């Protein structure tokens, strides 16, 4: 029984490792045809403007209810910003991966609102520095999540919501539902696959290691039973 418990524990650990790896593999390459603003906690303005071009969005941390999205150039080598996010949700999964905030005055770049991985209903809603979130909320007539702290992101930061009436309220996912229901502006992105260890070939979008993990667990269990039987027979000789 002890060996069986050890094998079961190993199987659980393998499954958890696979789940975390799958979440951290979320990467999307997107092309913007116009300048776009993203949160930048190091900039005095609270945002930075990305010129037209290709960029990579990758979920860098998924160990808590608050995630961190890394924004880089198309190669993934130059990091533009590390943005703290909160979970977002949409009713219908589509190929659209990046959604904008509402209309802004002419000449002002669109400010990114959220990112959804292709085919998924859950995504990442970007959190802006407080002062910028207040200005955006009043300008676009939408609630905007914010954080007080400046500098590097931390999952312990308190997240509030800035409203169009320039009031601050506690974070509640329901605050965003009325506006999100009619928000269709977005940019389609391309899901980026991770290269395999051998040969650098990419895996299909639907590829999964779940069956491999299950097989590994069964093999471990079988090995444990065989070892137990061998020990039992040895004790009788």
Per-residue HEC secondary structure of 217-236 comes to HHHHHHHHHHHHHHHHHHHH
Residue 221 pLDDT grade (very low, low, confident, very high; cuts 50, 70, 90)? low
Strand boundaries in the chain, DSSP class E = 27-32, 36-39, 47-50, 53-61, 67-73, 79-89, 96-100, 110-116, 122-126, 128-129, 144-147, 159-162, 168-170, 186-191
pLDDT at 155: 62
Distance CA 20, CA 122 (A): 16
CA nearest neighbour of 115 among 145, 95, 136:
95
Weakest-pLDDT range from 9-13, 135-139, 148-152:
9-13
Are β-strands 128-129 and 47-50 bridged in parallel, bridged antiparallel, or unpaired? Answer: unpaired
pTM, entire model: 0.69
Q: What is the arithmetic mean of pLDDT over 219-235?
A: 54
pLDDT band at residue 98 using 50, 70 and 90 as cut-offs? confident
Q: What is the mean pLDDT of residues 50-76?
A: 86
**If you average pLDDT over every residue of the chain, what do you get?**
75
pLDDT at residue 222 is higher than 80 = no
Average pLDDT over residues 28-44: 91
pLDDT of residue 226 exceeding 60, the answer is: no
When pLDDT is cut at 50, 70 and 90, the band that residue 207 belongs to is very low
19 versus 148: the higher-pLDDT residue is 148
State percent of the chain over pLDDT 70: 65
Length, in residues, of the chain: 237
Burial 13-46 (b: 16+ CB within 10 A, else e): ebeeeeeeeeebebbbbbebeeebbbbbbeeeeb
């Amino acid at each position: 029984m002890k060996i069986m418990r050890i094998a079961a524990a190993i199987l659980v650990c393998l499954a958890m490792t696979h789940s975390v790896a799958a979440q951290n593999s979320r990467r999307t390459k997107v092309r913007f045809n116009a300048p776009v603003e993203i949160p930048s906690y190091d900039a005095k303005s609270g945002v930075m403007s990305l010129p037209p071009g290709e960029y990579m969005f990758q979920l860098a941390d998924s160990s808590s209810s608050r995630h961190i999205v890394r924004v880089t150039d198309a190669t993934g080598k130059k990091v533009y910003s590390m943005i703290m996010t909160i979970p977002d949700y949409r009713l219908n999964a589509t190929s659209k991966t990046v959604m904008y905030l509402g209309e802004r005055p002419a000449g002002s770049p669109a400010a990114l609102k959220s990112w959804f991985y292709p085919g998924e209903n859950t995504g990442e809603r970007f959190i802006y520095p407080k002062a910028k979130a207040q200005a955006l909320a009043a300008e676009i007539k939408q609630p905007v999540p914010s954080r007080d702290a400046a500098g590097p992101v931390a999952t312990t930061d308190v997240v509030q919501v800035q409203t169009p009436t320039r009031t601050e309220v506690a974070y509640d996912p329901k605050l965003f539902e009325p506006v999100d229901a009619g928000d269709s502006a977005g940019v389609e992105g391309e899901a980026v696959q991770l290269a395999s260890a051998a040969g650098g070939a990419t895996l299909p979008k639907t590829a999964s290691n779940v069956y491999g993990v299950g097989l590994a667990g069964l093999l471990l269990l079988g090995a444990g039973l065989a070892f137990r039987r061998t020990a039992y027979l040895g004790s009788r000789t």
